[in-house]
Structure formats: C-alpha cells, structure tokens
A and B are shown apart, each in its own frame.
Chain A
Amino acid sequence: TQTVSQSDAHVTVFEGDSVELRCNYSYGGSIYLSWYIQHHGRGLQFLLKYYSGNPVVQGVNGFEAEFSKSDSSFHLRKASVHWSDSAVYFCAVTNNNAGAKLTFGGGTRLTVRP
C-alpha cells in the first residue's frame, strides 16, 4: 500500500518569501511522484513530476521539487511567491504508469499575504 503524507495543512507566507511544502511517501518499489495545484473552486492542475534522474525537477511558474530516497520525500519549493500562488497543493504518488491508483496526500493550503 502506498501512502502520501503532507504534514502541514496550512502554510502562510508573505509575497516575495520563499516557501517549501513538504511531502513524504511510503512505498517500497519504483514510484512516480507529482505535485498538483488547486485554486479555489477549480480542478487540480499538474505542476511537475519525478520518476528518475536528476532529483530536482522544475515545474511551471518557478516551482521545483526535490526527491530524496533516503528521506522518502518529495518537497515542493518556490524561491519567491506571488499572491496568485495562494491555493491548495497536493502531492501524489503512483507505483506504475498504467494510469491507475494515483494516491493523493491531504493537501497543503498555501496563503500568500501581500
């Protein structure tokens, strides 16, 4: 069974601050990790993904995430946030690329204050 844990339900920062949203997973095999963003009242939008290779992956709008096998983590970061980054962020994991069983974490609500 694969699980995803996002330890922070809420994170509040000021515009221009850096931010790190944490994601930890548990699974013993090969996995695909991804991050999604959900703006209020909207569907989820894909941000970035990792499967292998360079553990730091770049996504849209200045987001990046770093995979750590030793820590079982896939934390999302942004160097300088904008008010429009306020949203709920979901980490997700799947153990294959067959299209099924994408498991989501509970989400982290990021609030960016002006």
Chain B
Amino acid sequence: EAAVTQSPRSKVAVTGGKVTLSCHQTNNHDYMYWYRQDTGHGLRLIHYSYVADSTEKGDIPDGYKASRPSQENFSLILELASLSQTAVYFCASSEVGQGETLYFGSGTRLTVL
C-alpha cells in the first residue's frame, strides 16, 4: 500500500483561482517536501518541512504556500493560480538523517486554464 498519498490525482483550475494539493504519509517521517516537475525536466523544490506547524522555502517558492498541520499531512496552496503553474506536483517524505532517500507520492497533474 502506498505510504505517500496525494490528492487529487489530477485537477483543472482556472487562472486566479485557489488550488490546494494534499499529501498524506504513513511512513512516520518527520521531513516532507513538495516538488514540481515540468514536462521533460527534473524536479524543483518548492517547500519543505522538518516538523509539524513549520515550513521552509525551497528553490522556487514564489506563488506557493505550504501548510503542515500534523506529521502526516502536508499541503501545497496556490492562492492565485497562474498558467505558469501548470505542472505535475510531487510530495515526498524522508527520515531524519536520510535526506538523500525520498519516498514519493504518485503526483498530482495540475492544469491551469
């Protein structure tokens, strides 16, 4: 059974609308991450979190907010969705001291029209 679950699997949003992507992990990991993947490219880190109720900015945080209400849950929020945010979004988790070993969800394909 999947240890990192993302919802929804896909979403179509309108420009200027609010989008929330959710992630739930059952790995009991402290660290969680949100990555963005554009077609034909690698992954870029948006936000991450070491502990519940705390988030950190990654390499491309502009236009995104994150929320970590509990160890298991980590959300990515697009307050005003834009066309340039069309991408596949991946959530991941890792153990303390194992930052090179990430466990990924299956991704959310977001299309902004």
What residues of chain A have their CB less than 8 Å away from a CB belonging to chain B? 4, 9, 32-34, 36, 41-46, 49, 51, 90, 92, 94, 96-107
Contact = CB atoms under 8 A, between A and B. Distances in A.
6 contacts: A33-B100, A41-B106, A44-B92, A45-B104, A99-B94, A102-B99
Interface of B: 4, 30-31, 33, 40-45, 48, 50, 56, 58-59, 90, 92, 94, 96-107
Contacts of A92: 100
A34 B101 contact: yes
A101 B100 contact: no
Nearest to B107: A43
Nearest to B43: A104
Contacts of A9: 40
A102 B48 CA distance: 11
B92 to A, nearest CB: 8
Contacts of A49: 100-101
A19 B112 CA distance: 38
Given A43-B90, A90-B43, A105-B42, A99 B99 contact: yes
B45 A101 contact: yes
Instruction: In the A-B complex, list the 4 residue pairs whose CB atoms are closest, starting with the nearest.
Output: A43-B104, A99-B31, A32-B100, A99-B99
A96 B103 CA distance: 17
Given A92-B100, A99-B48, A106 B41 contact: yes
A107 B99 contact: no
B41 A100 contact: no
B106 A43 contact: yes
Contacts of B33: 99-100, 102
